[in-house]
């Protein structure tokens, strides 16, 4: 049983680290958008984003999900379970917020973001597996 408990703790730790990674990467990229894109911060406060700004926000989410998946398998020692749980938890965290903001964005935006969370997290995990195989 100790090895089972160890595996569970490792998976939980990997998921927590992956979630922290997602929000850290998203925050850093969002701050960069605010600094480098005129009127982005203004649009952010009113949810009045241009099409290009919406695409940039989706890209920000994609990069964050890839990073979270990568970290989940890196910390979890290549356990895909950690990446799967991370993607599901991200979905659970974001569905309520998107429900509350449903009228502020077009349906394609919500669906693209929400539907991509798990697959992009798994892709980030797969990228970590690929990097591990290439290591000497």
Q: How far apart are the first and last CA of the chain?
A: 33
Indicate the pLDDT class of residue 17, thresholds 50, 70 and 90: very high
The span from the CA of 111 to the CA of 10, in Å, is 32
Q: Whole-model pTM?
A: 0.90
The residue extents of the domains of the chain are 2-130
Question: How confident is the model over 85-123, as pLDDT tens digits?
Answer: 999 999 999 999 999 999 999 999 999 999 999 999 999
Q: Specify whether the CB–CB gap between 90 and 121 falls below 8 A.
A: yes
At 48 the pLDDT is: 95
């Amino acid at each position: 049983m100790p090895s089972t408990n160890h595996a569970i703790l490792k998976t939980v730790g990997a998921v927590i680290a992956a979630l922290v990674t997602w929000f850290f990467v998203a925050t850093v990229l969002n701050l960069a958008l605010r600094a480098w894109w005129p009127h982005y911060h203004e649009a952010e406060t009113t949810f009045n984003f241009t099409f290009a700004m919406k695409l940039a926000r989706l890209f920000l989410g994609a990069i964050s999900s890839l990073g979270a998946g990568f970290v989940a398998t890196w910390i979890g020692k290549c356990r895909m379970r950690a990446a799967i749980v991370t993607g599901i938890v991200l979905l659970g965290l974001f569905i309520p917020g998107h429900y509350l903001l449903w009228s502020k964005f077009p349906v394609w935006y919500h669906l693209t973001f929400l539907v991509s969370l798990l697959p992009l997290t798994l892709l980030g995990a797969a990228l970590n597996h690929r990097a591990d195989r290439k290591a000497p």
